[in-house]
Amino acid sequence: DAGVTQSPTHLIKTRGQQVTLRCSPKSGHDTVSWYQQALGQGPQFIFQYYEEEERQRGNFPDRFSGHQFPNYSSELNVNALLLGDSALYLCASSPTGAEQYFGPGTRLTVT
């Protein structure tokens, strides 16, 4: 059984561009959460998706949006990229109400 997978592994974008990150949850997991981890800091919660709806949201601007598909996979979209958006973006999946399992992350660099 594959764990949580994320793509791409690394990404370089220019300030002002838009980016889409993808996450495939573990088999049987219906909840997907996204976190942003800046260098030297702990991960910060962005939002959580369940049954294709955003269930919770952290303190992130509307430039950050997401989507969950019927197969439970998810996308994170960031518009109008800023230099400060450079970070490791982590996806976590879980069965409803259970322990979260984290993917390897996508390293986004904004230049």
Partner 1 sequence: KQEVTQIPAALSVPEGENLVLNCSFTDSAIYNLQWFRQDPGKGLTSLLLIQSSQREQTSGRLNASLDKSSGRSTLYIAASQPGDSATYLCAVRETSYDKVIFGPGTSLSVIP
Give the interface with partner 1 as residue ranges (CB under 8 A).
Answer: 31, 33, 35, 40-45, 48, 55-56, 58, 88, 90, 92, 96-105, 107
Nearer CB in complex with partner 1: 80/98: 98
| Smallest gap from residue 39 Cβ to partner 1 (A) | 10
E strands in 10-85: 10-13, 19-24, 31-37, 44-50, 53-57, 64-68, 74-78
| Smallest gap from residue 56 Cβ to partner 1 (A) | 6
| Smallest gap from residue 47 Cβ to partner 1 (A) | 9
The one-letter code for the residue type at 12 is I
The phi and psi torsions of 86 (rounded to 5 degrees) equal -60, 125
The one-letter code for the residue type at 81 is L
Nearer CB in complex with partner 1: 40/70: 40
Query: Beta strand pairing status for 74-78 and 64-68?
Result: antiparallel
